[in-house]
């Protein structure tokens, strides 16, 4: 009798878990609709609206630098760490054993021995094949390492929430943010192909305190410590540029809410809705939901040029690529131009509106970034920085193959079949 009771409970539990799993996959996404034309991109009015909706202050930057390749941004990050005097905070979804990771750990350990507070947050799933002992030397030098959402019985309900943030903050005065983690993918050839293309932005000045706050959120969740030391949040007012400098930026932290809305998703929808002339999208994983597809179609219908740049066959997630290609038809019909990067993997995450406002950071154009992960993006209106990002986009576009409707319709049956698997997994991409 007892065995039958337990057997029944197990079957009922399994059935309940199956229903919950189907609900996760089949639950309709949150609708995002912008019914009125937002202010013009690059205007103070649009910046103010973004700041209000994202609950994020407009910050001043004394320096903004776009660094478009792994060799460049890794060297800049290491040099910044070597100059640290008070704190170094690094957060990474990807931190994999490699030559470049060894260099980072060695430099961080040297700073920790010198008395600098070194704190690292790494995601337990993004770094699943990086053993905890890899950080032993850093800890022995005085550095602190915390794992975000380690796999435990009590974290299973939050298993799908990962920190996808790639962030470095030094002395609370200088920060790097963008799509690159710490791994050989970004600085060494991969299977005969060039290193992954990616972009990081270096920021200096008062706006860095907003990026420090982003790190502090995940440090608290991972290590149980609320950062309040002077080394983390120094007084940056003396570094503030004049109001006429135009070097303003907004740090938008995307964290899923109980109702599924994220600030990152609001930011992207609002920015595209504000476009008057052009939209440039660059993403390694492009799976726009129904609301975003409708927004892109509305943009082309009012005469906006929309270009989408994605990786070609050199993609580290082939199922995601096939699921993405399934959506090309309706977008091509609407007038959206789509091109696939040919030389290798392109991991850049970028949105530029009217060549006057840019969003660069960690969010992919998919549901995982918009609804499941912790992300961080920076809104830039600085003309020099935006122009550098636009120039990089066009350089990548020139090395890409434009997708024609006839080619899309002639895609192989195997690809179509595998794309059906993408439908099932699309909400998790």
Intervals of CATH 3.30.870.10 along the chain: 30-60+247-429, 62-227
Nearest to 199 by CA among 400, 354, 390: 390
Q: What is the pLDDT of residue 258?
A: 58
Q: Which two tokens stand for residue 245?
A: 């400098």
Q: What is the pLDDT of residue 418?
A: 65
Element (DSSP H or E) covering residue 63: strand 63-67
214-231 core/surface letters (b: 16 or more CB in 10 A; e: else)? bbbbbbebbbeeebeeeb
Residue whose entry in the numeric block shows the structure tokens 């995940």: 218
Q: What is the pLDDT of residue 3?
A: 56
Q: Which two tokens stand for residue 14?
A: 């399994």
Nearest to 247 by CA among 349, 356, 385: 385
**Alpha-carbon torsion 9, 10, 12, 17, what sign?**
positive
Q: Alpha-carbon distance 352 to 41, whole Å?
A: 9
What does pTM read for this prediction?
0.90
Q: Is 36 exposed, middle or buried (0-12, 13-18, 19+ CB in 10 A)?
A: exposed
- Order of strands across the sheet with 375-380? 58-60, 248-254, 375-380, 357-361, 350-353, 278-282, 305-311, 337-341, 400-402
Q: What is the pLDDT of residues 363-408, one digit of tens each?
A: 999 888 888 899 999 999 999 999 999 999 999 999 999 999 998 8
Name the E strands within 205-336.
248-254, 278-282, 305-311
Q: What is the pLDDT of residue 175?
A: 98
Q: What is the pLDDT of residues 202-261, one digit of tens each?
A: 999 999 999 999 999 999 999 999 998 888 888 654 444 444 445 899 999 988 765 567
Q: Are 184 and 100 in contact (CB under 8 A)?
A: yes
CA distances for 325 relative to 21, 125, 290, 393, 404, angstroms: 25, 27, 15, 20, 12
Q: What is the pLDDT of residue 429?
A: 46
Fold assignment, 30-60+247-429: Endonuclease; Chain A (3.30.870)
Q: What is the DSSP string of 347-367?
A: ---EEEETTTEEEEES--BSH
Q: Alpha-carbon distance 118 to 69, whole Å?
A: 25
CATH class of 62-227: alpha beta
Q: What is the pLDDT of residue 345?
A: 96
CA distances for 241 relative to 232, 233, 306, 424, angstroms: 21, 18, 34, 49
Q: What is the pLDDT of residue 297?
A: 97
- Low-confidence residues of the chain, pLDDT below 50? 237-245, 428-429
Q: Alpha-carbon distance 68 to 250, whole Å?
A: 20
Non-local (6+) Cβ contacts of 43 within 8 A are none
Q: Are 287 and 323 in contact (CB under 8 A)?
A: yes
Angle between helices 413-425 and 318-325 (to 10 degrees): 100
Q: Are 203 and 175 in contact (CB under 8 A)?
A: yes
Q: What is the pLDDT of residue 80?
A: 98
Q: What is the pLDDT of residue 5?
A: 64
Residue whose entry in the numeric block shows the structure tokens 């600030």: 263
Q: What is the pLDDT of residue 58?
A: 94
CA distances for 359 relative to 85, 154, 180, 279, angstroms: 30, 35, 15, 11
Strand-pair category, 350-353 with 58-60: unpaired
């Amino acid at each position: 009798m007892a065995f039958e009771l337990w057997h029944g409970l197990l079957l009922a539990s399994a059935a309940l878990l199956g229903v919950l799993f189907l609900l996760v996959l089949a639950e309709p996404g949150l609708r995002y609709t912008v019914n009125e034309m937002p202010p013009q991109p690059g205007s103070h009015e649009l910046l103010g609206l973004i700041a209000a909706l994202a609950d994020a202050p407009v910050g001043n930057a004394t320096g903004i630098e776009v660094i478009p390749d792994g060799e460049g941004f890794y060297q800049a990050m290491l040099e910044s760490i070597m100059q640290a005097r008070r704190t170094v905070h690094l957060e990474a979804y990807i931190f994999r054993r490699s030559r470049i990771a060894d260099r980072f750990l060695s430099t961080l350990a040297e700073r920790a021995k010198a008395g600098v507070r070194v704190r690292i947050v790494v995601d337990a799933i993004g770094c699943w094949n990086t053993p905890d002992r890899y950080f032993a030397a850093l800890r022995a030098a005085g550095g602190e390492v915390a794992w975000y959402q380690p796999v435990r019985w009590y974290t299973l309900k939050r298993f799908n929430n990962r920190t996808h943030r790639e962030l470095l903050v030094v002395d609370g005065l200088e920060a790097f943010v963008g799509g690159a983690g710490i791994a050989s993918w970004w600085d060494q050839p991969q299977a005969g192909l060039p290193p992954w293309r990616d972009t990081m932005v270096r920021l200096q000045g008062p706006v860095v305190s907003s990026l420090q706050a982003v790190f502090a959120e995940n440090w608290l969740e991972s290590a149980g410590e609320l950062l309040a030391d002077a080394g983390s949040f120094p007084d940056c007012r003396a570094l503030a540029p004049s109001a006429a400098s135009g070097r303003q930026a907004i740090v938008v932290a995307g964290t899923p809410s109980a109702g599924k809305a994220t600030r990152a998703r609001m930011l992207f929808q609002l920015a595209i809705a504000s476009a008057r002339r052009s939209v440039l999208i660059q993403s390694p994983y492009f799976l726009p939901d129904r609301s975003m597809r409708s927004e892109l179609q509305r943009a082309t219908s009012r005469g906006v040029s929309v270009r989408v740049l994605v990786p070609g066959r050199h993609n580290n997630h082939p199922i995601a690529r096939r699921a993405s290609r399934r959506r090309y038809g309706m977008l091509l019909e609407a007038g959206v131009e789509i091109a696939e990067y040919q030389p290798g993997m392109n991991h850049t995450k970028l949105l530029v509106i009217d060549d006057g406002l840019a969003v660069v950071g960690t969010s992919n154009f998919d549901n995982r970034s918009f609804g499941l992960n912790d992300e961080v993006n920076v809104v830039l209106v600085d003309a020099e920085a935006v122009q550098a990002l636009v120039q990089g986009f066009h350089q990548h576009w020139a090395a890409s193959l434009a997708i024609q409707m006839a080619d899309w319709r002639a895609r192989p049956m195997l690809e179509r079949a595998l794309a059906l698997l993408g439908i099932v997994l699309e909400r998790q991409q």
